[in-house]
Structure 1
C-alpha cells in the first residue's frame, strides 16, 4: 500500500546539519515506496506569518502556499525533522507549519529530532508533541532521535552506523501503521468534524 508523506524541515541556518536527517528519512521513505514531498522552510520561505492559508479567498493564496496546502491535504501523514533551539522548536519550522491548520487534521505525525550533541534534540521533540497535537495531528509514540548528527550521517544523509537504519525501520513500521489506520477511518467513516 503506497503512502503519501510530507517531510517538514525548518532550519534556515547557513550550515544546516539537520538537512542530513531530512535526506536520510526522505531516502528511507522512498525505499519503502512512499510518495514523498519535502517541505523545506528555506525553499518555501513564506516569510513571517501574516495570513494563514485559510485566510485567503479560494484561489488567491500565493502559488507556493497553494501547492503545499494541496500536498498537506492529500497526505497520509507527516514526518517532522527538527533540531533543538533553546530547548524548543526551530522558529522556521513552527512558522512554516503555522501557515496551515485544518489541512493537517486526522493524519499522523512522526518526529525525528537531532542535535550535534548527545541529547539528540529530544527536548524539542517534547515541545513538538504538544504543537502537532494542537494542530490536529496525533503523534506516534516513538521518537527517532539522532545524537551527534555529523558523526551519525554524512553530508548526503547516508548513515555511518548500521544501527541507525535498523532503528528507523521500526519507527517507520509504527508510522505506516498509523497512516494506514487513519486513512482507513477517513475513507470509511469520515472525520468527526
Structure 2
C-alpha cells in the first residue's frame, strides 16, 4: 500500500480567454486544502502547448500531462458547459492519457448559465467511465447567472461549501480505497 497523503489533482478544463474556471478552481483547491491528509495540485490545460492534432508519437507536452495524471490518486475536473457539452480542449487533454486514468476516482465542479454545467458533467461521466474510472455521485454546480458579479461571494455560500464537502468526502474515500487496491494488485483493463 502506498503511504502518504492522497494526491488530489484539480484540472481546469477551460482554455478560453476571460474564463472563470481558474477562479472556481482556486476555490475548490482552498476547500480541499483544509483537509488533513490531502495534497492538492492544479493541472491547468491552458498551460500546456498541445498539438492541434493527435501525432503518431507523444510530444513532450502530452507526456508531461500524462505524467501529471499518473501522479494523482483522484481528480476534480472544473468544467464549463459550452453549448450543452464540455470544451473540446478538455477532451483533447483527456485523450492524451489512457492507462494513467485507470482505477482512480473523478468528481466534478461545473459551471454554466442556468444548467450549472450539468450537461457537460453527464457527458464527462461517460468519457471517464470508458477510461475505467469511478465517477463520484455528488458534485458542485455553479449557476453563473446567480450573483454573477460576485463569484467569490456565491462560492462562499452555504450550499456550494456543503456540496464541496460532500464531493471531497466521496473523492477521498474512493481515492484511498482505489489506491490501496492498485497497490495490492495491478488493475486489469
Q: Corresponding residue for 1:98?
A: 95
Unaligned runs of 5+ in 2: none
Structure 2 equivalent of residue 25 of structure 1:
28
Aligned length: 185
Residues 96-175 of structure 1 aligned to structure 2 (within 5 Å): 96-115=93-112, 117-148=113-144, 151=147, 154=150, 159-175=155-171
CA distance, structure 2, for counterparts of residue 27 and residue 159 of structure 1? 11
Distance 2:129 2:153 in 1: 28
List gaps (5 residues or longer) in structure 1.
none
CA offset digits 1:101-138 (Å, max 9, x no partner): 111111111111111x2210101110010011112222
Contact 1:113–1:120 under 8 Å retained in 2: yes
The correspondence for 1:49, drawn from 24, 46, 53, is 53
Q: Could you state the TM-score of these two structures normalised by the residue count of structure 2?
A: 0.86
**Alpha-carbon distance between aligned partners in 2 of 1:119 and 1:174, rounded to the nearest angstrom:** 23
Counterpart contact for 2:65–2:97, Cα < 8 Å: no
Q: 1:173 to 1:137 in 2, by over 3 A?
A: same
